[in-house]
Amino acid sequence: DTVVALEALALYALKTYSKDGPDLPASISSEGFSHEIQVDTTNRLLLQTAQLPAIPSSYTVQAQGHGCLFLQTTLRYNIPPPRSDLTFALSVRTECIGLNAAHFPVTIQSRYTGNRVSTNMVLIKVKMLSGYSPVTKSLEELKKMPVVKKIEREVEQVTLYLDE
């Protein structure tokens, strides 16, 4: 595959290369938008970009002269879910007794509030405060709960795997 690709690139370079260099003005236009590109010997290997103002829209590309012009369009998008699609309610409560408390309980309540009948597996990661670690006895009590599928204990974090 590599040899075939290199042969194709060499043939492409042979057909498109010119000692005189390209002289190729081009334009990209749409209703209310125009962008000019000039390809010549000084910038023929330079990437030139333009941000299109409206998507979707129709754009026209016109090129005149001689040489080779490679034009590429890229569409990137990210559509975050609407704020109203909250699927979980989470509440965390701590009880710190005294200034130098060596132990204190952390109560976490989680509730599914989504539109479906049930969820897939849910992970809750609880990071410990600096200097504190989870108590094994408390984790053993959690394992007895029917929704708790698995518990992973690390030095500074506990991960709870909950069934649907």
Over the stretch 7-61, which tens digit does the pLDDT of each residue have? Answer: 999 998 888 777 777 788 999 999 999 999 998 888 888 899 988 888 888 999 9
Place of tokens 């590109």: 37
Coil, helix or strand at residue 38: strand
**pLDDT at residue number 82:** 65
**Of the ranges 25-29, 74-78, 84-88, 110-114, the best mean pLDDT one:** 25-29
**pLDDT at residue number 57:** 87
Is pLDDT of 81 > 70?
no
Residues 6+ apart with CB under 8 A from 28: 34, 35, 37, 50, 52, 59, 60, 61
DSSP 59-80: -EEEE-SBS------------P
Is pLDDT of 72 > 80?
yes
CB atoms within 10 A of CB 94: 11
**pLDDT at residue number 85:** 65
